[in-house]
């Protein structure tokens, strides 16, 4: 199979200014995803989809390709990631390059590893999957969550069927972590709902599932990366 990695890196982030190129432990945020994609050895092409020439130059310096910029129509904060993916697929087709699978790797998941990517493709092969999605265990069960009325009353907040049940006896819930989406291109282009028909989860640990949305997420990711780097150095010294 010919595999394409797409790393979406729109400029103009509102929540955290220039988030996708913000320096995280001395490297642009998107560099971590590019490096993981390269190290996985799973891709024939690693492409950063961006609307910014400055971002494109940074991406190329980090080892990715940017043969064309994202269209203005898909450079807004309301644009669908899958529309961006389809635009890239069509762009490469116009350049004479076609692929069998595409992996959407968001740069806001810098702790996702090359092994996570490799394992995603392993799931795709073993399950003959059309779609593989990264998930992680939720920190807290949604069964303990509810909406609140205006007066903040807690009456009927807890579902009666879980009252008194030990936490460890409650079913484990997972959430999509945004770190990895791998899909067969023919499935993506012909399906109205790519989650149906041979779609499987790739369970990733919570540490590798950090998704940067704001400054607190950024600071937490930076701390975890520092700890990871120190542990690697310690093991090397030993």
Q: What is the CATH number of the domain that holds 122?
A: 3.90.550.10
The reply to whether 148 falls in a domain is no
What is the C-alpha to C-alpha distance for residues 129 and 120, in angstroms, rounded to an integer?
A: 10
Domain carrying residue 37:
3-137+174-237
The reply to whether 99 falls in a domain is yes
Domain count, the chain: 1
- Which pLDDT does position 228 carry in this prediction? 85
The reply to whether 144 falls in a domain is no
- Which pLDDT does position 161 carry in this prediction? 83
What's the farthest any 2 CA atoms get from each other in the chain?
Answer: 62
Angle between helices 29-40 and 114-127 (to 10 degrees): 50
Asked if residues 22 and 110 have their Cβ atoms less than 8 Å apart, the reply is: no
- Which pLDDT does position 229 carry in this prediction? 80
Nearest to 143 by CA among 176, 106, 169: 169
The reply to whether 145 falls in a domain is no
Q: Report mean pLDDT in 10-residue bins for the chain, 238 residues.
A: 96 87 96 98 98 97 97 89 96 97 98 98 97 95 92 91 79 95 97 93 96 94 90 60
The reply to whether 161 falls in a domain is no
Phi, psi of 232, deg, nearest 5: -65, -45
68: three-class secondary structure by DSSP: coil
Asked if residues 8 and 87 have their Cβ atoms less than 8 Å apart, the reply is: no
pTM over cut 0.85: yes
- Which pLDDT does position 63 carry in this prediction? 96
- Which pLDDT does position 141 carry in this prediction? 87
The reply to whether 188 falls in a domain is yes
The reply to whether 96 falls in a domain is yes
- Encoding tokens for residue 209? 């599932």
The reply to whether 157 falls in a domain is no
Which regions of 50-203 does DSSP assign to beta strands (E)? 101-104, 131-137, 174-184, 199-203
Token pair 């995280």: residue: 24
- Which pLDDT does position 167 carry in this prediction? 74
């Amino acid at each position: 199979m010919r595999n394409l990695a797409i790393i979406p890196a729109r400029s103009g982030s509102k929540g955290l200014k220039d988030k996708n190129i913000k320096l995280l432990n001395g490297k642009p945020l998107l560099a971590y995803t590019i490096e993981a994609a390269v190290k996985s050895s799973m891709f024939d092409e690693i492409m950063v989809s961006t609307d910014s020439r400055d971002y494109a130059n940074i991406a190329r310096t980090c080892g990715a390709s940017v043969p064309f910029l994202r269209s203005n129509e898909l450079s807004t904060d309301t644009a669908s990631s899958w529309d961006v993916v389809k635009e890239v697929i069509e762009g490469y087709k116009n350049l004479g390059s076609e692929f069998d699978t595409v992996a959407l790797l968001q740069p806001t998941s810098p702790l996702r590893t090359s092994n996570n990517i490799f394992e995603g493709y392993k799931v795709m092969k073993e399950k003959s999957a059309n779609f593989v999605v990264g998930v992680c265990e939720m920190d807290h069960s949604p069964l303990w969550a509810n909406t609140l009325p205006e007066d903040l009353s807690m009456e009927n907040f807890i579902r009666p069927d879980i009252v008194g049940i030990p936490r460890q006896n409650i079913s484990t819930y997972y959430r999509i972590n945004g770190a990895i989406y791998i899909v067969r291109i023919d499935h993506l282009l012909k399906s109205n709902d790519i989650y149906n028909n041979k779609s499987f989860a790739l369970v990733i640990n919570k540490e590798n599932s950090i998704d940067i949305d704001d400054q607190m997420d950024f600071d937490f990711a930076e701390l975890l990366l520092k700890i990871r780097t120190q542990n690697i150095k310690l093991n090397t010294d030993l």
